[in-house]
Amino acid sequence: MKLIIRKASARWKAGVRGGSGSVTTDSGVVEQARFESGIPTRKKASTNPMELIAAALACSFLVALSKELGKVISPGNIGVSATVTIERLNVGWTVINVHLQVLATLPNVTQSAFIDATIRAKTNCLISRLLHTNISMNAKLEKWSIGKVTEKNKETYVTKH
């Protein structure tokens, strides 16, 4: 089996408090992006490891969901946001939950097929499998229509695993 290897590098200056770093990916898409420790402090124009985890999970989940939905329907519009929650425990700051918010407008898909696909995607997602934390999810399917979407033709589903 062929291995796929992706790399990123980071540099850190100063101590944990008041320090900052930069991160670069081999692809060059992220190049010397500023980051901080992620310990709750004032907001600055930089990212942090938790935000990067959220971004990686959102992207990876979308790829997995698109693959799952591709088995049953033609593509539509899907959006995902991921929220990482951290808490200070005895061992230090710890990711205690990641929440996925999924919103999709899809043609010719049933509610059950959509929910099944989101659950399979969460289970099969590369980053979901990497994380050892609770991942909760809300999934909302908006019915496909040429006209305006109204509250009557929206349906919401919630799953937690």
Residue pair 67/46 in contact by the 8 Å Cβ criterion: no
What pLDDT shows up at residue 110? 84
Instruction: Give the tens place of pLDDT for each residue, 78-102.
Output: 999 999 999 999 999 899 999 999 9
Is the pLDDT score of 13 beyond 80? yes
Residue 138 has pLDDT above 70, yes or no: yes
Tell me which architecture the domain covering 48-160 has in CATH: 2-Layer Sandwich (3.30)
For the stretch 16-25, pLDDT in tens is 677 889 999 9
pLDDT at 144: 67
All structural domains of the chain with their residue ranges = 7-43, 48-160
pTM of the shown model: 0.80
Give phi and psi for 124, each to the nearest 5. Answer: -95, -10
23-67 residue pLDDT tens: 999 999 999 998 887 665 556 678 888 999 999 999 999 999 999
As a whole number, mean pLDDT of residues 100-125 equals 91
| CB burial string 123-154: b at 16+ within 10 A, e below | ebbebbeeeeeebbbbbbbbebeeeeeeeeee
Contact partners, residue 128, CB within 8 Å, separation at least 6: 57, 60, 61, 64, 122, 135
